Amino acid sequence: MQQTQIQLDGAKKSIRSGLVPVTDLYELADCHTKRLFLNREDGIDIPLVPGEYLLIHGEEKFVVGESSIENNPPLRNEVRPEFNGFYNLALPSAKITGKSLKEKDDKFPTGRLFADIKDGVDVEISDDMTIVVQDKDSYFVIPPAADDGDSTDLEECGKNERKPPKGRKYRIRIDGDKHIVDSATITGAEILGLVGKSFDEWSLNQKLHGGKREKIEAKAKVDLTRPGIERFETVRRQAQQGEMALCELLPEDLEYLEANYPSKWRQVSEGNGKFGLVIDDFPIPDGYKEKKSTLMLLVPSGYPGSVLNMFYFTPSLNRSDGKVIKALASETHFDRTWQRWSRHYEWKPGIDSVVTHIEYIKNQIAEELRQ
């Protein structure tokens, strides 16, 4: 756990960040005969009692003194910690039991409650634990699974940037289906085995929160308690000779194409390992003679780990002002002749995709008119 600084009666002290027993603060302050208070700039100081717990973020201020203030006085300005990553709770008093805090979320009153520890391991809060709450605290509940009350949904944790707890079963999504695994570690080969696939024909990626993807080898061990893992995606290595196979697109690719080019896009193959994505009636900006054209992308096997490079139009694009467009060539693919635009950029696996490539194309054909 990382160390941080707090102030005890004006003196800086070093202490670990995270959920800390109040007794540790008393030991650090060496004030066993007086009361320790958490200083609140906008209201009454909060008395701290041994047996309670407090989330330490750093820079908290504590004072030592004698007072007749009740242990959990009502606050003039309520504390508003974040809960389940979506909203703030308004708490009129600074102290609350784990059970009471958990029940503040009426969606998951029977779930497990965790303190969200930044850059550290999240800590489960038991029902009978009394915690002292600050505005910048964050808590979340992991709901029990409908089919398995002892499993944690990895995608749910990943999307909300929560660190999955250890010592549980885990519900992982592979492509479109979810599977229960009993261990916090699993190999790439075991993940593919859950969906009846092997590394002879398929590769495996793990999608992290934010869109990044990492390739997983067969013998690589995946730590399911790693924060940010959302799902796993299988990608066919290559098409069988002579088979009209389709390129493997990502779920967000399909969502994007359906939302922006419904009934206009299709996948094509020559049966020799060459795959293409075709979009008919692709809109062309003013400044070209053509108002629409058919756009084609060559999608390599191994995508999204492999690079999408260049792009193709038929009919060819021509500037209305007659200026020559540089770095063009003519190529034949899928029994059609295409105008190839040789445009290159650094492809970043896990970030770039069909979606980002099409958006890049739109920028490029618009930028050409400014040349």
List pLDDT tens digits, range 354-363.
Answer: 999 999 999 9
Give the rounded distance of the alpha carbon of 17 from its chain centre: 24
Residue 146 lies in a domain: no
Nearest to 131 by CA among 115, 118, 119, 142: 115
The number of domains in the chain is 3
| Maximum separation of any 2 CA atoms in the chain, in Å | 89
236, 262, 282: which is the final residue of a domain?
Answer: 236
My answer on whether 292 and 362 are in the same domain is yes
Range of the domain at 324: 251-368
My answer on whether 5 and 94 are in the same domain is yes
Nearest to 1 by CA among 115, 127, 167: 115
Distance CA 336, CA 252 (A): 28
84, 117, 141: which is the final residue of a domain?
Answer: 141
| For residue 315, cis peptide bond before it (omega within 30 degrees of 0) | yes
pLDDT digits (tens, 9 = 90+) for 99-127: 888 887 766 667 788 888 776 667 888 88
185, 205, 236: which is the final residue of a domain?
Answer: 236
Q: What is the number of other CB atoms lying within 10 angstroms of the CB of residue 240?
A: 11
The long-range contacts involving 107-111, CB below 8 angstroms and separated by at least 24 positions, are 107/141, 107/143, 108/84, 108/141, 108/142, 108/143, 108/144, 110/144, 111/141, 111/142, 111/143, 111/144
What secondary structure does DSSP assign to 275-339, as a single string? Answer: EEEEEEEEE--BTBS-SEEEEEEEE-TTTTTSPP--EEEESPP-BTT-PPPSSEEEEEETTEEEE
Residue 189 lies in a domain: yes
Ramachandran sector of residue 129 (left: φ over 0; alpha: ψ -120 to 50; beta: rest): beta
My answer on whether 289 and 223 are in the same domain is no
My answer on whether 94 and 7 are in the same domain is yes
Query: Which CATH number covers residue 205?
Result: 3.10.20
Residue 316 lies in a domain: yes
Residue 120 lies in a domain: yes
My answer on whether 9 and 50 are in the same domain is yes
Residue 246 lies in a domain: no
The model's pTM is 0.43
Query: Which CATH number covers residue 292?
Result: 3.10.110
My answer on whether 47 and 78 are in the same domain is yes
**Helix, strand, coil share of the chain (percent; to 5):** 15, 40, 45
My answer on whether 2 and 24 are in the same domain is yes
Residue 144: the pLDDT is 59
My answer on whether 50 and 84 are in the same domain is yes
My answer on whether 197 and 216 are in the same domain is yes
Residue 241 lies in a domain: no
Which of the pair, 97 or 149, is modelled with greater confidence?
97
Distance CA 109, CA 368 (A): 57
Q: Go through 288-303 and write b for each residue having 16 or more CB atoms within 10 A of its CB, e for each that does not.
A: beeeebbbbbbbbbbb
Residue 66: the pLDDT is 74
Mean local confidence (pLDDT), 288-317: 91
Distance CA 229, CA 243 (A): 34
Q: Are 278 and 311 in contact (CB under 8 A)?
A: no
My answer on whether 137 and 164 are in the same domain is no
My answer on whether 126 and 97 are in the same domain is yes
pLDDT digits (tens, 9 = 90+) for 9-50: 788 888 888 888 888 888 888 876 788 888 887 667 888 888
**SS3 state at 57:** coil
Mean pLDDT score of the chain, rounded to an integer?
83
Residue 244 lies in a domain: no
My answer on whether 209 and 128 are in the same domain is no
Residue 243 lies in a domain: no
| For residue 304, cis peptide bond before it (omega within 30 degrees of 0) | yes
Distance CA 189, CA 220 (A): 8
**How sure is the predictor about 241, in pLDDT bands with cuts at 50, 70 and 90?**
very low
